[in-house]
Structure 1
């Protein structure tokens, strides 16, 4: 039941040893710290503390009401119960461990490593001032990597979410036709999520995906009517066993009598496909995020197309935007995220968007995992533009090309 947490705790101990950090201390209440689902999988109702040391000790300090769940998880070497004074128990524990430094979940740039509130930070410093004279450091360097580098079980779950997403896409595409609104197209996904017994990976509910004919932005579907000759973007995610996919597809609604798309649209799709290829070929351990982004970005510029307006890709895992390294440009708004190095086990999207002034717009988003010498596609690549026809026979023949 706690297989992922066991894998993550092992990663944690390795990281603490590598960085020479004696202790990681997680102070939480009501599961308040965002790292809790990943690291322990068990929250606390009352104030509690999780401690991991570089020697491999795993301790849980909690109230008696929380002890049973923590003991049954079998994640900890010792579950220490207090009877009303966490402060006393924490001081005794820190005195026994006698760390030179303590990592806390405080971070300026990474919100997923910033779970310790200002008030709890002040309480902690005051509580330990008589027993700890060492240095408090940020957990960001290793917590970001622990979240970013997926374990075998995590990759299996992401891949499962990807396959469910692709099945839903294929069935939904057979039901689309010109004359429907963005919202009506989005509603098709709801029925398929219910059929697969999954929810949207963005908000963990049976909510609509992004469907965009016009007014391209990060928004829900509206009442715009789809006409023959339109390009429509779909951006969709599902959650499976706590992990998510993130796949976007752009489709073209054929005009009556058409069997192919107009040449400018065909050329734009070809450029997007090649930009994804170039980004993917750059991806291997040791390469920096901005170098991957540059491969796609510079290709568009060489064709006379506009620059991508955001990052080429991001990490996925427990969330659609899973923090960590970004496949993005060295823009101030992205901070240090594009400077991080790719490592084996990281899972990314690749989505070099293309928005042209003539109304042609494309988002094709693939999911990949970094391997020891490159990447492996978790999603089936969209190698051809998906065509939707009100002539069901034509549409079904085209859709046979889409992988199951």
Structure 2
């Protein structure tokens, strides 16, 4: 068991240990330039062809523009588009050929990025869409993926008017072969490269470390949930990282009944509380983490948690470990989730509504297989039937839910793990025991 001491006299002093905004730190692993440009190029060259093959897509077209750009813009190099530009990726055996139709304003920058095989500069009239449609009509072969989807918002970047305008320029044989890019995007984004996993590993270590540091500064009957959140916000500013999800709800700190996805409040932390921190950071403005850590506030006469709290923790932690043991290439997310549900039922937990886990990487709830679907009263999503692949990264929980005054309390032992050739491994050391906070 991990014990904390009384390190500060008032909750206000929690923030003194952190430096002002934007100050650099000697041990910051994310001080240097972003590796994203090189990683993006590698992903396009190596992972995109594999994804297109699995999705049985021959050509992928993305329309980029200013102000309301496609969600995938940074992944394909059109994040700086102003006037409409069209990016086309064609599968040629095991390789990709990319062609860009762009107005002259962005052409120089695109050439300097050196991500694409061909940059075709077009006049604003008739424009990039007309030139790109002519190219596709002349080079038509196989299925053409476009970014519209009912189930995957990241693959749904093409507006209705854009779709209508572009398809009006295509010949009927091409139109007949148009498909949603959702399967292609799923296959591509769900797999992270070894370099990306190394980045996520460092970010996960930092995330978990800060959560433990935050607990060490809790003073029972004085510190509030929001004080803990403020400490973590200050650490983020100190290291120059940002929020993994909506800032108002990151971190979620909860020493009372379950609040779900919610902001921290001014509730004072009391002896007997089980505290949850759900926290994630974004590094290099590209990759995110999602990790939870739990603590128990000892009563003045306690040296260890009550037997029931200890049992709840043990069951939740063991559920997390069981999930890791079954995660491997080929198993579905539904099968993974069912392992935990059976364990919870055997050990008396209330029914937990949340999925066991979700993909994480570019956003907190990323594209990829869902580790869920076996809950009571809830139909599995389509992604729960998808097989896990090497390079999938998940944030996933080991659960236990019970009734407390004012509602329910859930321990959700959330760790990050990556699927490997032989199974799965944690990205950082998992939490083995409840963190204990003394009230003396």
TM-score under structure 2 normalisation? 0.84
**Alignment of 1:5 onto 2:40:** yes
Paired with 1:9 and 1:249, the residues of 2 have a C-alpha distance of 36
Deviation of the 1:133 alpha carbon: 5.1
Number of matched pairs: 390
2:402 pairs with 1:356: yes
Q: Greater CA deviation, 266-275 or 210-219?
A: 210-219
* Partner-residue secondary structure (3-state), 2:199: helix
Which residue of the other structure, out of 302, 318, 332, is the alignment partner of 1:258?
Answer: 302
Q: Which residue of 2 aligns with 1:186?
A: 229
Is the 8 Å Cα contact of residues 246 and 349 (structure 1) preserved in structure 2?
Answer: yes
Q: Offset of 1:333 from its aligned partner?
A: 5.7
Aligned-residue offset at 1:208? 4.6
- 1:76 aligned to which of 116, 134, 143: 116
Please list the CA deviations of residues 183-225 of structure 1 after superposition, one character each: whole Å capped at 9, or x if unmatched.
112111122222222222113x597510112241210111211
Checking the alignment, whether the CA contact within 8 Å between 1:13 and 1:52 is kept in structure 2 is no
Q: Which residue of 2 aligns with 1:173?
A: 215
Residue 375 of structure 1 aligns with which residue?
424
Checking the alignment, whether the CA contact within 8 Å between 1:5 and 1:41 is kept in structure 2 is no
Q: Does 1:34 align with 2:76?
A: no
Structure 2 residue matching 1:292: 3-state secondary structure: helix
Shift in Å at residue 384 of structure 1?
0.6
Q: How does 1:385-404 map to 2 (within 5 A)?
A: 385-391=434-440
* 2:81 equivalent in structure 1: 44
Which residue of structure 2 lines up, in the alignment, with residue 343 of structure 1?
Answer: 389
User: Runs (4+) of structure 1 moved beyond 6 Å?
Assistant: none
How far apart are residue 364 of structure 1 and its match?
1.4
1:227 partnered with 2:270: yes
Task: Give 1:121's match in structure 2, choosing from 152, 157, 163.
Answer: 163
1:397 aligns to what?
Answer: none
Q: Which runs of 5+ in 2 are unaligned?
A: 1-34
Q: Secondary structure at the match of 2:234?
A: helix
State the alpha-carbon separation in 1 of the partners of residues 368 and 99 from structure 2: 27
- Deviation of residue 97 (structure 1)? 2.2
Alpha-carbon offset, residue 86 of structure 1: 1.8
Taking the aligned partners of 1:281 and 1:41, their CA distance within structure 2 comes to 40
Deviation at 1:353, TM superposition (A): 3.0
Contact in 2 for aligned 1:61/1:79 (Cα 8 Å): yes
Structure-1 residue corresponding to 2:354: 310
The answer to whether the Cα contact below 8 Å between 2:319 and 2:399 also exists between their aligned partners in 1 is no
- What SS class does the counterpart of residue 98 from structure 1 fall into? coil
Between the aligned partners of 1:288 and 1:18, the Cα distance in structure 2 is 17
**Distance (Å, rounded) in 2 between the aligned partners of 1:364 and 1:20:** 38
Bigger RCO (CA 8 Å, 6+ sep): 2
Aligned to 1:156: 198
Alpha-carbon spacing, 1:201–1:107, altered in 2? closer, same or farther (3 Å): same
Q: Which residue pairs with 1:14 in the alignment?
A: 50
How far the C-alpha of 1:94 sits from its partner, in A, is 1.4
Superimposed CA distance per residue, residues 333-354 of structure 1 (whole angstroms, 9 cap, x where no aligned partner): 6520211100000000121332
1:279–1:296 contact (8 Å) kept in structure 2? yes
SS of the residue 1:137 aligns to:
strand
The answer as to whether partners of 2:54 and 2:187 remain within 8 angstroms in 1 is no
Task: Return the alpha-carbon distance in structure 1 between the equivalents of residues 224 and 51 of structure 2.
Answer: 50
Which residue pairs with 1:396 in the alignment?
none
1:139 and 2:181 matched: yes
Contact 1:91 1:128 in 2 (8 A): yes
Cα separation, 2, equivalents of 1:353 and 1:67:
52
Deviates more, 1:228-237 or 1:6-15: 6-15
CA distance in 2 between counterparts of 1:155 and 1:108 reads 29
**Kept after mapping to 2: 8 A contact 1:289/1:338:** yes
- Contact map agreement 1:94 1:131 (CA 8 A) in 2: no
| 1:128 Cα deviation from its structure 2 partner | 1.3
SS of match in other structure, 1:33: coil
Cα offsets for 1:45-67 (capped at 9, x unmatched): 11111100011211111111111
In structure 2, the CA distance between the partners of 1:95 and 1:161, relative to structure 1 (3 Å rule), is: same
- Tell me if structure 1 keeps the 8 A contact 2:149–2:155: yes
